[in-house]
Amino acid sequence: MRRSGWILLLWGVTGSLLVGCEEEVVGALNTEYPFSLWGVLNPLADTQFVRVFPVEATLAPGLPVPLDARFVSMDLATGEEHTWRDSLFVDSSGAVGHVFYAPFQVVWEHTYRIEVTKAGGRTSTAEVEIPVRANLTLREPNTEGGVRLDGVVTGNPPRLFRSEVEFYVRYIVGFTPPPIQMPIYEYVRYALPFDDRLRRTGEGWAVSVDLDEAYFAVAFEVRKDPDFVSSGGITLLLVTFRTVVANDAWAPPDGVFDPLVLIQPGTLENVENGFGFIAGGYRLSRSWTLPLDVVAQTNFVPNQP
């Protein structure tokens, strides 16, 4: 339940898929497809990234030179084109990777055509629709019959996934030596998956977090720490809701983001004459500011100044 942050939306949305790309390439050996493409076009980013894997007859680390390919994107609504550049990298194992990038911002609800052409003329293509611009609004805490944190994602986005509520908390794990004996704190972040708790309403995607229910989930994890001093309680510092807004093409089986399923070839693809998936999407994230008297109505300990 402890959460590691995303560095780029590219890796956050497709990182689990990229793990399986070598397996996919194995299944693709001896085909005429030139490339496997993975990435996200993000309307909130000023630079776009797509990872490109050349489909080769044999698996090899590759040479540390730019890929001999032409990468072009076109806005089908305006005709605007961009030529992307190869950002070559070599990982700790010596494997060579290629992330193509272009410094521009994609436009809400526009469709982009991606073309990656290999020397000799073979081309892999994909069309990517950028979703609508959604807004995330968090309401004041509702303290009727417990404490509930409500919010809504408006704008009628087609899909939300990787939704979670993160609780930033601290607890005592010991004390400094006498005579002062000040508490020693552990600061941790716990994330609760929230996709199956979102509800569609006339207003949008509704978010509702029951802090009493959340406390027991967080406490269950905290108590796994053998140094946890239970008498000090669990102090709630911040509550954050985050989600990914995605286009209609992001349609995993049964709507479930299962990396073990998604890495299987053909499960989630929109690349023509190639392999892979390029999504359109972006992250939304906001945090509730909780008054001390509201937190005091829960099992959490308020963060005293």
Of 244, 283, 281, 16, residue with least CA distance to 128: 281
Q: Which residues contact 299 (CB under 8 A, 6 or more apart)?
A: 212, 215, 216, 219, 233, 234
The tens digit of pLDDT for each residue in 223-282 reads 999 999 999 999 999 999 999 999 888 776 666 655 555 555 566 788 999 988 999 999
Q: What is the pLDDT of residue 266?
A: 60
> At 14, is the secondary structure helix, strand, or coil?
helix
The tens digit of pLDDT for each residue in 41-79 reads 999 999 999 999 888 765 555 667 788 899 999 999 999
pLDDT of 100 strictly over 90: yes
The tens digit of pLDDT for each residue in 280-294 reads 999 999 999 899 999
d(CA 118, CA 115): 10
Q: What is the pLDDT of residue 33?
A: 87
Residue type, 147: V
d(CA 173, CA 225): 9
Task: Tell me whether residue 119 is exposed, middle or buried, using C-beta atoms within 10 angstroms of its C-beta: 0 to 12, 13 to 18, 19 or more.
Answer: exposed
Q: Which residues contact 168 (CB under 8 A, 6 or more apart)?
A: 187, 188, 189, 236, 237, 238, 239, 240
Of 158, 136, 139, 135, residue with least CA distance to 149: 139
Residue type, 32: E
The tens digit of pLDDT for each residue in 171-186 reads 999 999 999 889 999 9
Model confidence at 17, in pLDDT bands (50, 70, 90)? very low
